[in-house]
Amino acid sequence: MKFRLITAFACLAMASANAQQDSLQFRKISDEILLNGTCYENLRVLCKKVGNRLSGTPAAAKAVTWGEKAMKAAGADNVWLQPADVPYWHRGNESLMIRRGDGKYQKVTALSLGNIEGTGGKPLEAAIVMVRSFEEFKTLPDNMVKGKFIFFNYRFRQDFPFTFNGYGDAVKYRWASPSIAAARGAVGVIIRSMSTGADDAPHTGSMHYNDSFAKIPEMALGNYTADSLEHYCMKGKVYAKMQSDCHMTEKLVRSYNVIGEIKGSQYPDRIITVGGHLDSWDVGEGAMDDGAGCVQSIEVLRAFKALGIRPKYTIRAVLFMNEENGLKGGLAYADSAAAKNEYHVLCIETDAGGFTPRGIGMEMSEVKKEKIRNFKNLFLPYGVYDFSQEEGGADIGPLHRKLDVPAAGLMPDSQRYFDLHHTNNDTFENVNHRELKLGAVALTQFIYLISEHELL
């Protein structure tokens, strides 16, 4: 009994010493990144020297070169490119004009949705019929659909405190409405953007055709223009003239994931992957989506190196290619891991914007989650408190599913993300340096913890 008590006290004392040690190391990580972090400057270069970088474009290739250089500058032991063949969607010229009754056509600000087949550059003119939901669309008589533009005027639900819930709810209107409308003979689709913005920025983003139906074009309006069109449609007849060159090219384009690695000191074969995606939509600068995630992932490596922390596990930062319209990078990474029989203990993604972090979501067994949650108080001084959500990421999804790798996702404050994402407003100027850096702090602390305590 006495021995057990002594052991218990010794354990407690050790645990307390460990906790103090962790707390000190967390502070060092935070200080290093907040004071000397290069992620904000890296983001500036990516946004201003490369700019937006849709998969398959020369800008995406330039981003690969940028990523390689940034990984080396961060001090990665090894940096390499992993091939991934990606689709190339071309926007070209596009325009949307609206006419009320017998009035004149007026040009409105609009963006074609990604992957769309446009009008072949020719004007497509038809009456607009507005519905507020798929349910309402079903109630339309055929003559109100055939030969018409359907305006899916579904509003992003602002009542969800966490905006990703609103996005999850609304995104089907972007993704599926062309085929749903084409199935009944509509000639095109106009949607209200998936946007929380109190502004007029249209949001692009992926859509998907069902091959059974005609590939009709789809364009998105910002909230103000959608409000106007709603008003017009309620008052009388409205017509649209749509024109666009958009098309998906047939051949895939060779591109790459950019990978940088610090070799583990004790278990070099155990790999932790941290990543964001390097491609972006072809508007704005891809700053929040997902330049932020790229520079944060690189910052993790830089912080380990700068602090002289040799991690027990191998830490890999991955800039995935083609998250936006194909996920080819994520798939290639998972295939390679499987082919090489790599042992991945954790993959964590940062693709929800460079805002102040609030939590880290996890997709893994409850036993593993609990192991991690035992340490959650360490994160509180940095404002990271929520370890209760089920979150991973798109790019790490294939690895998570194919090899059962525990997945996690950085969860920053979500309020401004859907004001910016997939718009011309997603620029460097809309990223705050401290918020961006704090995200990198949380990622580095989390990865340090998993590796140092061999939690996974």
Residues that bind a second copy (CB under 8 A): 30-31, 34-35, 40, 158-159, 161-163, 196, 198, 356, 358, 381-383, 385-386, 413, 415-416, 419, 432-435, 438, 441
Supply the minimum distance, in Å, between the C-beta of residue 296 and a second copy: 15
Supply the minimum distance, in Å, between the C-beta of residue 64 and a second copy: 27
For the range 335-341, what are the long-range contacts, defined as Cβ-Cβ under 8 Å and sequence gap of 24 or more? 335/398, 335/402, 336/82, 337/399, 337/402, 337/403, 338/402, 338/403
CA angle 447, 445, 316 (to 5 degrees): 30
Supply the minimum distance, in Å, between the C-beta of residue 46 and a second copy: 16
The terminus-to-terminus CA distance of the chain in angstroms comes to 33
Q: How many helices (H) and strands (E) does the chain have?
A: 14, 17
Which residue number, 89 or 418, has a Cβ lying nearer to a second copy?
418
Q: DSSP 3-state assignment of 243? A: strand
Q: DSSP 3-state assignment of 240? A: strand
Alpha-carbon distance of 22 to 24, in angstroms, equals 5
Task: Bin 201: left if φ > 0, else alpha if -120 < ψ < 50, else beta.
Answer: beta
Alpha-carbon distance of 364 to 435, in angstroms, equals 27
Residue whose pair of structure tokens reads 């390689």 in the numeric block: 68
Which residue number, 291 or 329, has a Cβ lying nearer to a second copy?
291
Structure tokens at 32: 């290093």
Supply the minimum distance, in Å, between the C-beta of residue 169 and a second copy: 14
Using only C-alpha atoms, the chain has a radius of gyration, in whole angstroms, of 24
CA angle 313, 314, 319 (to 5 degrees): 140
Which residue number, 30 or 244, has a Cβ lying nearer to a second copy?
30
Which residue number, 329 or 359, has a Cβ lying nearer to a second copy?
359
Q: How far is CA 205 from the centre of its chain?
A: 11
Supply the minimum distance, in Å, between the C-beta of residue 32 and a second copy: 9
Which residue number, 345 or 384, has a Cβ lying nearer to a second copy?
384
Supply the minimum distance, in Å, between the C-beta of residue 157 and a second copy: 9
Which residue number, 57 or 223, has a Cβ lying nearer to a second copy?
223
Which residue number, 299 or 395, has a Cβ lying nearer to a second copy?
299
Supply the minimum distance, in Å, between the C-beta of residue 227 and a second copy: 15
